[in-house]
Structure 1
């Protein structure tokens, strides 16, 4: 269905493989369009519980395709604005998915590749993975990816890396909050599988509500408004069929209906 992607679905898990290995899964207009469409389709598919984003070949994603960047340098401001809006829309679509998303990162995750890893809910990296916001070295800025990278590592760390373009090793990525787990390359798929198995234990509606809760509460001052909002959210969920099933399953000491058999 997609020129630049392969999608594997098994047991409620969709693995979304970026498939431009010859250019280290670098972004071009087609990959951006394909990722946008695929994320929309997977989010609408009730059979899919978890989405894993991964890259074929030696890298997760090396950022922008050089030919695409050259074309952008010669294009008008209006054309560049349209391109930038499509990139921003793709990242937003990934970040706003209602289902848990997990980045399986190996090799390079540079520029937009680091943006993809940041836009996912969870990032699992191989020990040899390398991240960077290297845009300043090309005379530009990591603008479209900035909301997701800053959310992941904070403004203070972003202030360093957005300006220096330094490479960030996997261990450092874990230290600053970009990667949740760092494992040996041969253990990467096992660790991804372990986290995915944990995600499949949660109720789908509750997970979507949890993602929305984080967006609503993060960086908000504590006070009556936040207290009321969180009270209403839990009261609404307690009345759902999913919550009743979760409680019944716990009391009966059986798996909930949403847990894969």
Structure 2
């Protein structure tokens, strides 16, 4: 897996994708959008990968869109702008829909589209000093493509505030609002990410994927009879599946389940 704007590494069952445009604070352009989409699509189909870490080189995690790229878009037609926006939307969806759990390793500030990347991940570990900002309104723009993910992560009320004020907020605020899962000192960032990845890899791989899909499917649905029947059907399928049977048997027999061997 070779990309112009990403470094890709593997450590056992964990893949790490590292944004690699530190000279522009890892701002994304059309090349990075294509690289991230392609990388997540490829990893999604690999049975040997059980978790993905999204990281970044340099002092910033991601500053959002590259201003030179945005300047070029100003001359696009409406159809060209729509097509370009769909590429960004599809990149974010490739992260959110990845069947593997995705951990964001946030070493530096995340602005605008960078917050969208983080919000699309499942678990976010950030350094205490990191700052976040939905800065689009300062430029007369709106955070439209990232909105589905950011609103889910921040909640409606906080999103109202930070979308319209475009003010920066610190890691402690992001942790309180739920965007950040865990805040750590810089020296503990890698160890914390590795520990979470190891925990994910110790669980049943099919169960982890099904749990991720379960949350996405259930979170925004009405609690009605159809949902109740759906959840009952899901656990019934899981119990009858090979992984479920192996998990229960290994627990009762006090041995290690097969997926950890």
Q: Which TM-score bucket, shorter chain as reference?
A: over 0.9
Q: Deviations over 1:120-169 (max 9, x none)?
A: 00100001111111000011000000000001011111000000111121
User: Which residue in the other structure is 2:101 paired with?
Assistant: 100
User: Which residue in the other structure is 1:70 paired with?
Assistant: 71
Compute the TM-score of the two structures, normalised by the length of structure 1: 0.97
Partner SS for 2:70: helix
Partner SS for 2:222: coil
Q: Does 1:54 align with 2:55?
A: yes
User: Which residue in the other structure is 1:44 paired with?
Assistant: 45
Aligned-pair CA distance for 1:255: 2.4
Return 5+ residue gaps in structure 1 as ranges.
none
User: Which residue in the other structure is 2:127 paired with?
Assistant: 126
After superposing the two structures, state which structure 1 stretch, 160-169 or 249-258, moved more. Answer: 249-258
Alpha-carbon RMSD? 1.0
User: Which residue in the other structure is 2:230 paired with?
Assistant: 229
Aligned-pair CA distance for 1:252: 2.5
Compute the TM-score of the two structures, normalised by the length of structure 2: 0.97
Please give the alpha-carbon distance, in whole angstroms, between the structure 2 residues aligned to 1:87 and 1:206: 30
Please give the alpha-carbon distance, in whole angstroms, between the structure 1 residues aligned to 2:120 and 2:55: 13
User: Which residue in the other structure is 1:18 paired with?
Assistant: 19
Return 5+ residue gaps in structure 2 as ranges.
none
Please give the alpha-carbon distance, in whole angstroms, between the structure 2 residues aligned to 1:257 and 1:59: 40
Please give the alpha-carbon distance, in whole angstroms, between the structure 2 residues aligned to 1:171 and 1:190: 20
Q: Deviations over 1:67-90 (max 9, x none)?
A: 011111222211111110000001
- Counterpart mapping for 1:230-249 below 5 A: 230-249=231-250
User: Which residue in the other structure is 2:80 paired with?
Assistant: 79
